[in-house]
Amino acid sequence: MSTLPPPARIGDAIADVDTPALLLDLDAFEHNLDTMVRVTAGSGMRLRPHAKSHKCPPIALAQMQRGAVGVCSQKVSEAEALVDGGVRNVLVTNEVVGAPKLARLARLAKRAEVSVLADHPDAVTALSHAAQAEGSTIAVLVEVDVGAGRCGVAPGEPAAALARHIAAQPGLTFGGIHAYQGGAQHMRTPAEREAAIAKAVAMVKDSIAAMEQSGLKVPIVTGAGTGTFLLEAGSGVYGELQPGSYVFMDADYARNGDPAGDSVGLFRQSLHILATVMSRPSASRAVVDVGLKAHSVDSGMPRIDEPAGAEYLRASDEHGLVSVPDGMEMPLGSKLKLVPGHCDPTVNLYDWLVCHRHGRVESIWPIAGRGAFY
Amino acid sequence: MSTLPPPARIGDAIADVDTPALLLDLDAFEHNLDTMVRVTAGSGMRLRPHAKSHKCPPIALAQMQRGAVGVCSQKVSEAEALVDGGVRNVLVTNEVVGAPKLARLARLAKRAEVSVLADHPDAVTALSHAAQAEGSTIAVLVEVDVGAGRCGVAPGEPAAALARHIAAQPGLTFGGIHAYQGGAQHMRTPAEREAAIAKAVAMVKDSIAAMEQSGLKVPIVTGAGTGTFLLEAGSGVYGELQPGSYVFMDADYARNGDPAGDSVGLFRQSLHILATVMSRPSASRAVVDVGLKAHSVDSGMPRIDEPAGAEYLRASDEHGLVSVPDGMEMPLGSKLKLVPGHCDPTVNLYDWLVCHRHGRVESIWPIAGRGAFY
């Protein structure tokens, strides 16, 4: 509910930022944005970064200033928050069901270029009704299940049949194929990721062939994440990449094997959680003020980057238990920098991103899409 | 950041509530509040329910209308949100460290009766300075580690030494002993919980004896949670109970063994997450719009209460994969009622609590303390 005031002021030293706080190292952040542009330049790929990771219009605009054609969002309300913040091109990479959401999506399509996924003819028909009711046009992409086992139609003729249905509906245009292998992003070895994306590419090719046999042109194939985007970029079939986490990175991506050998190793950790030591129950234990309400544990406990050697053992609602190595000083009030296990749901817990450079707070950005899950 | 509008209007049918939504069954909720009063009446116990579970002033006020002396909060900003909402007595059941938080706590003590924990003499001294600077008085309780292995001083003389230090500081009063065995709440058998609380009670007795030997009177011993409060109530040493989750309950409490035989079985599940089916990739699978950003998985996946027989298998950021039994109808747009694995961090993801009775929305309460982790 109540948006809390930011935990810092411009110019503050990091040590003076109130906690828990979400810190963004601007040098590392800009390195990540620039690196993504550099390594995809010349591939012919369009970049459409996923904004579900950051939910933050200033970041979306920074991505677009570097050439991204737009961003992805995962929910209609998240797209609204981005458009409110100045973004003019959003692909909602999800199925949208239910009259209130469809009406909002159709209205949003009058303020921005809006596209969305579908994997069922009934959902397409409902999208068409909503677009017609609002007098807007929505591009609809066929979501193909390329191995993630979540949403999506089967590749080949089932995908083509849905594409034909989209193309036939008033108020809609056929936007292409969405083929995201979410399950491949955190496979631990490059070989596993290569095999998964090779299978996905084959399924995309089958789907393109079936669509072209129907006389449909496929405007774009879009997909890919931080763990695999170089593979999709080199596939010859994808035309647009959707990485999101590369902006921040997290402890789980760092566990991908051989990170230096592939896309994950290109990026620096720009996101940290600042925590304060509030109790020292023993020489080997500290308790910090960052618990389950300040980071998501779905991908494990946070890693502690500063001070190196301390370990985050377990979380309760508002406590984090930390193991302190022999001889390490860590008085009450000490501040620790944690790397969250999973950046996306962690960022969603915060209202503000405290952006710093050379040890000082340079800007404070609103996480405008926090909690925007409608 | 931006507080989203509520997902429903007063009078709406549950089926028309937008999703994800946090639903509160008012009959079950009132049953839980009344039951807590009934089973503790005559025990001489004061009730001070923990508001970290709900972060919602209307719920805190409903608890106080039924006789609670005040509520607990886990953070200063959470206490501020409760006082802003009309609560006049808050115990912050946590250590508070750092000048900004201490100043806010001391200021809050001029608007409400405020008490807080300490487990280190330096923190007590800092609390005293803050109270003097603001001209307020703060009651400080000694947190004793009674087996949870988190914050807290050792029982007996160490606890008494800290109590003497508190009593000697200007601006502070010695408020008593905080003895919460958090680890015992979700032990699976009643015998385990009984053994844990028996140990805690012995440590409390040692601490009281040491304090009384110092000439200090112990104003209150406070603690207990939903999983054990009947044990503390019958201990002869506790004077105040702090259960929080009993208001809502969750899937993890339901896993406590023999729930009918102890405190957990007294309460009904009042809290649900309403989800919408947005994809039916196969006859045996559905995908709902409730993922990691709409429930906390620290205590496992949600249970599906309606329709019975469906199972929530796994979560990604904004997707939940559901197993659909043979023959069950579950068309696109169907709504499911989920019981979160862990209520507290799940509630913290929502801005609004949609309160219903007889299938209609009766009221919509703001979760004023959402995100209040400073």
CATH numeric code, A14-22+270-366: 2.40.37.20
Q: What tokens appear for A259 in the block?
A: 């990170």
Q: What is the dihedral of CA A31, A34, A36, A41, to 10 degrees?
A: -150
Residue position matching structure tokens 């409902």? A126
| CATH class of the A26-266 domain in this structure | alpha beta
At A77-113, the pLDDT tens digits run 999 999 999 999 999 999 999 999 999 999 999 999 9
Instruction: Please check the confidence at residue B318 and state whether its pLDDT lies above 80.
Output: yes
Instruction: Please check the confidence at residue A2 and state whether its pLDDT lies above 70.
Output: no
- Measure CB to CB from residue B74 to each of A4, A318, A372 and give the nearest one: A318
B140, B163 Cβ separation under 8 angstroms = no
Residue position matching structure tokens 């981005």? A82
Q: How far apart are CA A282 and CA A354, in angstroms?
A: 32
Contact: B182, A316; criterion CB under 8 Å: yes
> What residues does CATH 2.40.37.20 cover in chain A?
14-22+270-366
Which pLDDT band holds residue A260 (cuts at 50, 70, 90)?
Answer: low
Q: Is A328 on the interface with B (CB under 8 A)?
A: no
Which pLDDT band holds residue A258 (cuts at 50, 70, 90)?
Answer: low
Greater pLDDT, B58 or B186: B58
At B77-123, the pLDDT tens digits run 999 999 999 999 999 999 999 999 999 999 999 999 999 999 999 99
Q: How far apart are CA B153 and CA B162, in angstroms?
A: 8
Q: What is the model's pLDDT at position A245?
A: 97
Q: How far apart are CA B130 and CA B103, in angstroms?
A: 6
A361, A24 Cβ separation under 8 angstroms = no
Sort strands A352-357 and A360-366 into parallel, antiparallel or unpaired. Answer: antiparallel
Q: Is A101 on the interface with B (CB under 8 A)?
A: yes
Residues of chain A with Cβ-Cβ distance to B75 below 8 Å are 289, 318
Q: Is A348 on the interface with B (CB under 8 A)?
A: yes
> What residues does CATH 3.20.20.10 cover in chain B?
26-262
Instruction: Provide the chain A residues 113-142 that lie in CB contact (below 8 A) with chain B.
Output: 119-120, 122-123
Residue of A17, A180, A279, A338 to mutate when probing chain B, most B C-beta within 10 A: A279
Peptide bond into A20 cis (omega under 30): yes
Q: What is the model's pLDDT at position B165?
A: 98
Q: What is the model's pLDDT at position B155?
A: 98
Q: Which residues contact B313 (CB under 8 A, 6 or more apart)?
A: B301, B321, B322, B323
State what percent of residues in chain A have pLDDT above 70. 98
Q: How far apart are CA B31 and CA A190, in angstroms?
A: 55
Q: Is B7 helix (H, G, I), strand (E, B) or coil?
A: coil
Q: Is A7 helix (H, G, I), strand (E, B) or coil?
A: coil
Instruction: Please check the confidence at residue A47 and state whether its pLDDT lies above 60.
Output: yes
Instruction: Please check the confidence at residue A219 and state whether its pLDDT lies above 80.
Output: yes
Q: For A193-208, what is the mean pLDDT?
A: 97
B141, B178 Cβ separation under 8 angstroms = yes
Q: Is A69 helix (H, G, I), strand (E, B) or coil?
A: coil
Phi/psi at B126 (5° precision): -65, -40
Mean pLDDT computed over every residue of chain A:
96
Q: Is B332 on the interface with A (CB under 8 A)?
A: yes
Q: Is B94 on the interface with A (CB under 8 A)?
A: yes
Q: What is the model's pLDDT at position B3?
A: 73
CATH numeric code, B26-262: 3.20.20.10
Instruction: Please check the confidence at residue B261 and state whether its pLDDT lies above 90.
Output: no
- Measure CB to CB from residue B317 to each of A19, A74, A277 and give the nearest one: A74
Q: What is the model's pLDDT at position B1?
A: 47
Instruction: Provide the chain A residues 206-245 that lie in CB contact (below 8 A) with chain B.
Output: none
Contact: B321, A352; criterion CB under 8 Å: no
E strand spans, A5-161: 21-25, 46-47, 71-73, 89-95, 113-118, 138-143
Q: What is the model's pLDDT at position B260?
A: 62
Q: How far apart are CA A125 and CA A166, in angstroms?
A: 8
Phi/psi at B212 (5° precision): -65, -35
Contact: A298, B297; criterion CB under 8 Å: yes
Which residue(s) pair with B303 in the sheet? B339
Q: How far is CA B128 from the centre of its chain?
A: 28
At A273-314, the pLDDT tens digits run 999 999 999 999 999 999 999 999 999 999 999 999 999 999
Q: Which residues contact B221 (CB under 8 A, 6 or more apart)?
A: B176, B177, B179, B204, B208, B237, B238, B239, B240
Mean pLDDT computed over every residue of chain B:
96
Which residue(s) pair with B41 in the sheet? none
Domain made up of B14-22+267-366: CATH architecture? Beta Barrel (2.40)
Q: For A266-271, what is the mean pLDDT?
A: 96
Phi/psi at A200 (5° precision): -60, -45
Q: What is the model's pLDDT at position B262?
A: 73
Nearest chain A Cα distance for residue B184, angstroms? 13
Q: What is the model's pLDDT at position B2?
A: 54
At A150-170, the pLDDT tens digits run 999 999 999 999 999 999 999
Q: For A169-198, what is the mean pLDDT?
A: 95
Q: What is the model's pLDDT at position B252?
A: 93
Q: What is the dihedral of CA B38, B58, B2, A226, to 10 degrees?
A: 0
Q: Is A25 on the interface with B (CB under 8 A)?
A: no
Q: What is the model's pLDDT at position A1?
A: 47
Q: What is the model's pLDDT at position A262?
A: 72
Instruction: Please check the confidence at residue B263 and state whether its pLDDT lies above 90.
Output: no
Phi/psi at A94 (5° precision): -165, 160
Q: Which residues contact B110 (CB under 8 A, 6 or more apart)?
A: B134, B135, B136
Contact: A317, B344; criterion CB under 8 Å: yes
Residue of B280, B317, B352, B370 to mutate when probing chain A, most A C-beta within 10 A: B317
Of A88, A91, A92, A41, the closest CA to residue A67 belongs to A41
Q: For B54-63, what is the mean pLDDT?
A: 98
Of A161, A373, A129, the closest CA to residue B288 belongs to A373
Q: What is the model's pLDDT at position B264?
A: 83
Nearest CA in chain B to A97: B278
Instruction: Please check the confidence at residue A69 and state whether its pLDDT lies above 80.
Output: yes
At A324-356, the pLDDT tens digits run 999 999 999 999 999 999 999 999 999 999 999
Q: For B225-239, what is the mean pLDDT?
A: 96
pTM score, whole prediction? 0.97
Q: For B283-291, what is the mean pLDDT?
A: 98
Q: What is the model's pLDDT at position A336?
A: 98
Q: What tokens appear for A111 in the block?
A: 């303020």
Nearest chain B Cα distance for residue A278, angstroms? 6
Q: Which residues contact B260 (CB under 8 A, 6 or more apart)?
A: none
Lowest mean pLDDT among B118-127, B215-224, B260-269: B260-269
The DSSP symbol for B147 reads: S
State what percent of residues in chain B have pLDDT above 90. 94
Q: Is A32 on the interface with B (CB under 8 A)?
A: no
Q: For A49-76, what is the mean pLDDT?
A: 98
Peptide bond into A170 cis (omega under 30): no
